[in-house]
A and B are shown apart, each in its own frame.
Chain A
Amino acid sequence: MARSLLSDKPDPTSISAMSSSPASGSLDREKLADYVEAIAKSGDRAAFARLFAVFAPRVKAYLIRLGTESGAAEELAQEVMLTVWRKAGTFDRNQAAVSTWLFTIARNRRIDLIRRTRRPELDPDDPALLPEPEVPADTKMTVAERDVRLREALKALPAEQISLLEHAFYGDKSHSEIAEVTGLPLGTVKSRLRLAFARLRNLLDEPN
């Protein structure tokens, strides 16, 4: 399981390697962003079909990993894709990759279903919100640059830290639940997550 995070290519034994859908290593992120923009601009159904082919099976796989039964996972994945159709106008390619945006939609829809409330999120229009300090545009990392950095950082993380991140993102476990299921002392879980995080942060914060 730890390999999935580390590798550029999907597991050669996985369905994706055999199917005609593009492997993750070759996902064209610019094209994916073009599709979302085409939906926002003109309700482009062909662009939606392309996005659906790439992401519906992955969102379903994500939900199954988190313990959702296959039928329900598919239903939820369809709903997530419908949200993509409806909210395409809120996507900003300068802020996030399409996969990041999809991940947050899938995560939030799942939380809504479990808790029957909306996921608590900050309100970007809240007058009480402290705005981002102005950063000169040329020192700002692009989404693509961040993507490269993040994948590099992940490769450099020790397996024990990767495994905790996987428990968190794939295992539906909060850090205290991870301690319970793995039998690791809570302090160890906390310190490993903090280490992993510090390394990711250093890499992502460094200007070019």
Chain B
Amino acid sequence: MVAYHPPAEYLCDYAAGTACEAVSVLIATHLALCPQCRRQVSALDHLGGVMLEDLPPASLSHHAPELPTFKEPADILPPQLTANWPVEPSIPEPLRSYLAMAAKPPVWRWRLPGLSEMAVAVMGENRRSMAHLMRIPAGRAMPRHKHFGHELTLVLSGGFSDETGHYERGDIGYADFNTDHRPIADRGAPCICFVVMDAPLKLTGPLGRMINWAFGTSR
């Protein structure tokens, strides 16, 4: 059972169609794992429909379009997209397809002690936000860090704990300017998360400050 859901404003952006693509992928992937948020998004879709009903109609300058002959198979079946790379099947759609159809093979890159990352090719808001998978080895702690923007973290496998709670598959962690935390992966299996953020994180522990300096993320 999912215990941590995205903040309402992100569900609202997703339903209204204003969320950036990266946030949309994260929310839609959470929806695959969370019947509760699925119901809420369908209530927001309903709200969109109510608004559509209540809009004063605009006048049209053309008549109805020429209708094609009914039931053309090509119209009814969505185009088949082919995967370029094999991807762990437990990763739900739509994230799985983003990984499988990326131009380059998805690979893990070591970033910091206790943290590997895999870039996900998806556009964020104003091209500022970044999306990636994050992997923390079983039982390891991430360096303590602070956030300079907003970050949504969707757990795909394993789990982690920090000062705010314990997160498992399907849960979404939310961090903002006020969050200064040190996530620790559960024992037994590595913790893999999909992360969308709109500013890089800044490490705050003594080791972290050195790494910030070395990676040029210090401000």
Given contacts A128-B93, A197-B8, contact A99 B170 (CB under 8 A): no
Q: Establish whether residues A147 and B50, one from each chain, have CB atoms under 8 Å apart when the complex forms.
A: yes
B207 interface residue (CB < 8 Å to A):
no
Q: Contact residue range for chain A? A: 35 or more
Q: Establish whether residues A174 and B125, one from each chain, have CB atoms under 8 Å apart when the complex forms.
A: yes
Q: Establish whether residues A189 and B71, one from each chain, have CB atoms under 8 Å apart when the complex forms.
A: no
Q: Which of A58, A87, A120 contacts B28 (CB 8 A)?
A: A120
Q: Establish whether residues A56 and B33, one from each chain, have CB atoms under 8 Å apart when the complex forms.
A: no
Q: Which of A49, A87, A101 contacts B64 (CB 8 A)?
A: A49
- Looking at chain B's contact residues, is the secondary structure mostly helix, strand, loop, or mixed? helix
Q: Which of B8, B53, B60, B67 contacts A194 (CB 8 A)?
A: B8
Q: Establish whether residues A130 and B34, one from each chain, have CB atoms under 8 Å apart when the complex forms.
A: yes
A133 interface residue (CB < 8 Å to B):
yes
Given the complex, which residues of B lie within 8 Å of A60, measured CB to CB? 57-58, 60
**CB-defined interface of A164-203 with B at 8 Å, one 1/0 digit per residue?**
0100111011111100000000000110011011101100
Given contacts A168-B16, A175-B12, contact A126 B60 (CB under 8 A): no
Report the bound CA distance from A152 to B207 in whole Å: 55
Q: Would you list 25 pairs from A and B whose C-beta atoms are within 8 A, ordered by A residue?
A: A15-B56, A15-B57, A15-B59, A27-B53, A45-B67, A49-B64, A56-B64, A74-B58, A78-B65, A86-B68, A86-B75, A96-B45, A106-B52, A120-B25, A120-B94, A120-B98, A122-B31, A122-B92, A126-B93, A147-B50, A150-B50, A174-B125, A190-B7, A190-B9, A201-B40
Point out residues on A near B: beta carbons under 8 Å. Answer: 4-5, 7, 10-11, 14-17, 19, 21, 24, 27, 43, 45, 48-49, 52, 55-62, 64-65, 70, 73-74, 77-78, 81-82, 85-87, 89, 95-104, 106-108, 110-111, 115, 117, 119-123, 126-133, 146-147, 150-151, 154, 165, 168-170, 172-177, 189-190, 193-194, 196-198, 200-201, 204-205
